[in-house]
Amino acid sequence: MTHDLQDTPFLPFSQPSIDEATIAAVGDVLRSGWITSGPKVRAFEEQLSAYFGGRPVLTFNSGTCTMEIALRVAGIGPGDEVITTPISWPATANVILAVGATPVFADIDPVTRNIDLDLLEAAITPRTRALIPVHLSGLPVDMDRLYDIAKRHGLRVLEDAAQAFGSRWHGRRVGAFGDLVSFSFQANKNLTTGEGGCLVLNDAQEAALAAKYRLQGVTRSGVDGIDVDVLGGKYNMSDIMAAIGLGQFANIEAVTAHRRALARHYFAQFGDGFEAATGAQLPVADFENSNWHLFQIVLPDRGPGTRADFMEALARLRIGTGFHYAAIHLFSLYRERGFSEGMFPVAERVGRLTVTLPMFYAMTTADVERVAAAVKTVLAAPGTPR
């Protein structure tokens, strides 16, 4: 390790950007005397609804509970099968178990790393009730095909758009069309409220049901002006969080544009011969639809330790990386339910070899150049994955 490298600031793979106006707005909420759900949440939901073409939008305190409530609104429960991808954050499959339904996986497409829609369609049975596609790294699944399949088989769709705020499908915003669409505002996401999420729904009736699940099942229709008629929980967003969200939302177009520019720069830096020379796989070069939530490469397989060695080598060069994600069906909870190695070979390979490179709003093109050079050096070094 050279001395100058130790002086190089560590570049994380992700980092939130909160501007001073947002910090001031949070201070105003804290001083206002009203810090839980109130005017800021209502304003945030109104702005989100307008952004999604007037569809109803409710906010929640995590992306995970947003998805669980969406499944409850769709009436998914015991006896129902829900098809999803094995390459996602565990939340995507866990919420299926949480409502008592049965998760069914379909392997991923090796190029997009999103769920393979042919395999998804082949996995449909008479018990299938819903589909949960994930727009991984912000790259949407083929929405035309997805909704065609859902329509032909009479299935509900819950888009896990946790990573896809600002993504588009050929000009239309993800969330502005389709069935139920869930977003996460967790700290690393393109738009954050610290923790949080929102759900885009079809109509006022669905929104009213989701609002009940959000707060203890309380409805205003009872004899004393209040009743509880479904088992809800405590999932509401606070005005403190919504103030962060309003500040983030004001900047979302610039965030998406900057991430796209950084992604373009990554491709320019890696150059055309990169995949052939290294055996590594770049993401799909999509600058129309993806919001570039993550910039992920798949390493050439050099046996056990391939990814850990690569991540360590980059960390020594003061560069942070992550991996998103390990294949869900190989976790103990899912093995106990009958899943095992070999069932979804593409997901298993990608789950072992995918690496997330730095990508966030405050990053510069010089940072991209440093990362690309380091990746090339490490992949070329003997003892590391090629």
Ligand X SMILES: *Cc1c(COP(=O)(O)O)cnc(C)c1O
CB-wise, 191 or 311, nearer to ligand X? 191
CB-wise, 160 or 309, nearer to ligand X? 160
Told to check if 328 binds ligand X by CB under 6 A, we report no
Is cis: bond before 325, omega within 30 of 0? yes
The interface mask with ligand X, positions 219-258, x = CB under 6 A, is: ----------------------------------------
Q: How far apart are CA 70 and CA 286, in angstroms?
A: 29
Told to check if 186 binds ligand X by CB under 6 A, we report yes
Told to check if 184 binds ligand X by CB under 6 A, we report yes
Told to check if 192 binds ligand X by CB under 6 A, we report no
Told to check if 13 binds ligand X by CB under 6 A, we report no
DSSP state letter for 137:
G
Nearest C-alpha neighbor of 236 from the set 195, 272, 265: 195
Q: Whole-number minimum distance, CB 49 to ligand X, in Å? A: 20
Three-state SS annotation for 263-298: HHHHHHHHCCCHHHHHCCECCCCCCCCCCCCCEEEE
Q: Which of 109, 160, 348, 367 binds ligand X (CB under 6 A)?
A: 160
SS3 206: helix
Q: Whole-number minimum distance, CB 202 to ligand X, in Å? A: 21
52, 176 contact by CB (below 8 A): yes
Q: Whole-number minimum distance, CB 301 to ligand X, in Å? A: 24
Which residues fall within 8 angstroms of residue 188, CB to CB, at 6 or more apart? Answer: 14, 16
Q: Whole-number minimum distance, CB 228 to ligand X, in Å? A: 25
Q: Whole-number minimum distance, CB 87 to ligand X, in Å? A: 9
The footprint of ligand X on this chain (CB under 6 A) covers a number of residues equal to 14
Q: Which of residues 101-140 bind ligand X (CB under 6 A)?
A: 134
Q: Whole-number minimum distance, CB 14 to ligand X, in Å? A: 11
- Residue type (1 letter), 129: R
Q: Which of 106, 132, 162, 255 binds ligand X (CB under 6 A)?
A: 162
Q: Which of residues 296-315 bind ligand X (CB under 6 A)?
A: none
SS3 379: helix
Q: Which of 91, 115, 199, 280 binds ligand X (CB under 6 A)?
A: 91
Sign of CA dihedral 265, 275, 286, 319: negative
Which window, 74-82, 84-92, 269-277, 314-322, contacts ligand X (CB under 6 A)? 84-92
CB-wise, 184 or 306, nearer to ligand X? 184
Which window, 19-27, 86-94, 225-233, 375-383, contacts ligand X (CB under 6 A)? 86-94
Count of CA atoms in the C-beta half-sphere (13 A) of 289: 19
Cross-strand bridge partners of residue 298: 281, 354
Q: Which of 14, 49, 62, 256 binds ligand X (CB under 6 A)?
A: 62
CA-CA-CA-CA dihedral for 339, 343, 348, 349, to nearest 10: 170
Told to check if 167 binds ligand X by CB under 6 A, we report no
- Residue type (1 letter), 349: R
CB-wise, 64 or 278, nearer to ligand X? 64
- Residue type (1 letter), 373: A
Task: Show the tokens assigned to 207.
Answer: 């929104």
Residue nearest to ligand X (CB): 63
Q: How far apart are CA 56 and CA 37, in angstroms?
A: 17
SS3 11: strand
**Positions marked catalytic:** 189
Told to check if 197 binds ligand X by CB under 6 A, we report yes
Q: Whole-number minimum distance, CB 24 to ligand X, in Å? A: 25
Count of CA atoms in the C-beta half-sphere (13 A) of 14: 20
Task: Show the tokens assigned to 123.
Answer: 């996995």
Task: Show the tokens assigned to 130.
Answer: 């819903």
- Contacts with ligand X by CB under 6 A lie at 62-64, 88-89, 91-92, 134, 160, 162-163, 184, 186, 197
